[in-house]
Amino acid sequence: MKWNKYTLTTTTEAVDLISYTLGEMGIEGIEIQDKVPLSEEDQKKMFIDILPDLGPDDGKAKVSFYINPEDDGEDTIQKVLHEIYGLKDFVDIGEAVIEKSQTADEDWMNNWKKYWKPFKVDDAIIIKPTWETLENVPEGTLVVELDPGTSFGTGMHHTTRLCITQIKKYLKSEDTLLDVGCGSGILSIIAMMLGVKEAAATDIDPHAVEAAIENAKVNHLDMSRYKIVCGDVISDGEFRRKMGVHKYDFVVANILADIIIPLSGVVKELMKPGALFVSSGIIDMKEEAVAQALTENGFEIVEVTRSGEWVSFTARNR
């Protein structure tokens, strides 16, 4: 199958905000190319013997995304550029030129895999692509096998790491956990591997659910304590009831601010009194709006953590 590929030329400074904006438009699975060198900290986390020579960082970046031709309108470029131009007041968007081309499934669904290597989330967790081998793993290290497929969630993004940090900090072994918008399932899979009593994961995308199930299996998880289902927690009250009323001690959602805001109005139905709600995927310009929604919906904000331009809230169900 052929896909329409759109490549936006912009600046490295604008990449995070553009990525967020594309997500808000319903565009997923973006690809970023730049010459930003890895920090010393990131190099230590990557299991790569020789880093590629990218040349000097010129401040430029290319952001590519893919659309099924059947779903692609003639005004796609104009719609995207309209949203990107609206970011000029916040960040330098550079040339903001879009080129359109065509590519096959195998070009974008698989070629990226050769660039994704095992890496450390922290000193105790390593995430390893299923197609890579890993030797000399330090004793006591948790190795998570992962193939995200076309779903969001390799563990490398700021927002995912923020969630993992809070899971490790607050999750108890006797807890039941719910992962809303699970993508590849990485967060609930890590929770299960850390020994949580029971976990559930949901996503509105059936492909994400399939990927999460496969990732659970490859990590040899006890599926009698872990369920992964397709459904809409926000708009489907019957689905929420099936997931369990006031069942969960811990809910995590690494999505987008504009989804977390309405989610905060219904997720309490699933949570026990005093349960924790960790939310991420929040660009810093949306921080105040999410904080207000959490407070208005009866949550007490326990902790706010940040990484780059991204924010995570840990809130308690009052």
Nearest 10 degrees: CA dihedral of 220, 224, 230, 232?
A: -120
**pLDDT average, residue stretch 56-72:** 86
Q: Cα–Cα distance between 271 and 108 in angstroms, integer?
A: 39
Exposed e or buried b per residue across 140-178, where buried means at least 16 C-beta atoms within 10 angstroms of its C-beta: eebebbbbbbbbbbbbebbbbbbbbbbbbebbeeebbbb
In terms of DSSP bridges, do strands 248-254 and 176-180 run parallel, antiparallel, or are they unpaired? parallel
CA 132, 137, 140, 143: dihedral to nearest 10 degrees?
-10
Which pLDDT belongs to residue 107? Answer: 57
Higher-scoring residue by pLDDT: 158, 239: 239
What is the distance of C-alpha 287 from the center of its chain?
17
How far apart CA 235 and CA 231 sit, in angstroms, is 9
Mean pLDDT score of the chain: 87
Which of 32-36, 192-196, 200-204, 211-215 is predicted with the least confidence, judged by mean pLDDT? 32-36
What would the mean pLDDT of 151-171 be, rounded to a whole number?
80
Measured over the CA atoms of residue 283, residue 285, residue 289 and residue 295, the dihedral's sign is: positive
On the question of pLDDT at 51 being above 50, the answer is no
CA distances in angstroms from 173 to 167, 176, 193, listed in the order given? 11, 8, 10
Q: What is the pLDDT of residue 46?
A: 46
Q: What is the mean pLDDT of residues 294-309?
A: 96
Nearest to 313 by CA among 296, 285, 290, 297: 290
Does 28 or 303 have the greater pLDDT score?
303
Confidence at 218, pLDDT banded by 50, 70, 90:
very high
Residue count (the chain): 318
Q: What are phi and psi of 99, to 5 degrees?
A: -110, 140
Q: Is the pLDDT of residue 127 over 50?
A: yes
For residue 47, what pLDDT is reported? 44
User: What is the Cα–Cα distance from 275 to 236, expressed in whole angstroms?
Assistant: 21
| 298 against 66, higher pLDDT | 298
Check residue 176 and give its pLDDT: 98
| pLDDT tens per residue, range 8-46 | 999 999 998 998 899 888 887 788 888 776 665 555 544
Query: What is the band of 3 on the pLDDT scale with cuts at 50, 70, 90?
Result: confident
- What is the H or E stretch that residue 179 is in? strand 176-180
pLDDT at residue 55 is higher than 80 = no
Residue 109 has pLDDT above 60, yes or no: no
What radius of gyration, in Å, describes the C-alpha atoms of the chain? 20
> Confidence band (pLDDT; 50, 70, 90) for 73?
confident
Which of 21-25, 118-122, 127-131, 280-284 is the most confident on average? 280-284
Measured in degrees and rounded to the nearest 5, phi and psi for residue 309 equal -95, 10
